[in-house]
Amino acid sequence: MTEPLLRPGERLDDLQCGGLAVIQRPDVFRFGTDSVLLADFAAPRRKDTAADLGCGTGAIALLMAAHRPGLTVDAVEIQPELADMARRSAALNHMEDAVRVWNMDLRDAWRALGLGRKSLVVCNPPYGRRGAALESEGAAKRVARHEGDLTPGELARAAELLLKCGGRFCAVYPAPRAYELMRAMDEHRIAPKRVRTVHGVEGRPPKLVLVEGVRDGGEGLHWLEPLVLRNRDGSYTEEWQRIYAQR
């Protein structure tokens, strides 16, 4: 029954969340640990109206909708091939009503989704600066991994336009560039409120940060307990196992 949804070169990857699967292709960017962490960190609330900016193959949107029945996520993706896979993944999981996929530039999302309509916006954006790292082979991987002309400021503005007053913006970003993201959020009326550093191994500096900001929020930044993925002996930590088990 699922075969017509798959195209040459594609495969189904198990999201390990109530039988959910996502359509992916080995030669394009695929979801990883950062997507799983962000879906858990965002923790959609019962009455949230959500958007996922740069949804890729749709993993974050599917995970959030699965964990919060009744939630609708507008998933925005600029690459037609990835948007198509995300749309078919929603259909595969019978979640077309919960995950609505839009093939467009996230900077224009407010035109289709409306100004100030969302209470939650999430984003796992491209990390690499143009010229700062070796670019990935293949156009799809390059767009997914390197920000190109998408700056933290433009990302924050896209979230600002979508969020209602008091709405939340959640993102995962490289730890060395955390200040860039939080400064951009502040400049676009999104006050950083919660930050959690993510460490690959116990005792090592963080590689990622999970950041939550509130549109028109006040002062005060809450630093959460660091999230460590592996113990020094290489075993997974209890916290990572908890998050992984909830996928």
pLDDT, one tens digit per residue, over 22-39 is 999 988 867 889 999 999
Q: Is the CB of residue 163 less than 8 Å from the CB of residue 116?
A: yes
Quickly list H helices, 47-172: 59-67, 80-92, 109-113, 139-145, 152-162
CATH topology of domain 3-245: Rossmann fold (3.40.50)
pLDDT, one tens digit per residue, over 119-146 is 999 999 986 554 444 344 444 444 444 3
d(CA 147, CA 202): 29
With a cut of 80, say whether residue 2 has pLDDT above it: no
pLDDT of residue 126: 85
pLDDT of residue 4: 53
The greatest distance separating any two alpha carbons of the chain, rounded to the nearest whole angstrom, comes to 52
pLDDT of residue 5: 77
Q: How many other CB atoms are there within 10 angstroms of residue 17's CB atom?
A: 18
Q: How would residue 202 be classed by pLDDT, with cut points 50, 70 and 90? A: confident
Residue 150: in which H helix or E strand, if any? none
pLDDT, one tens digit per residue, over 107-120 is 999 999 999 999 99
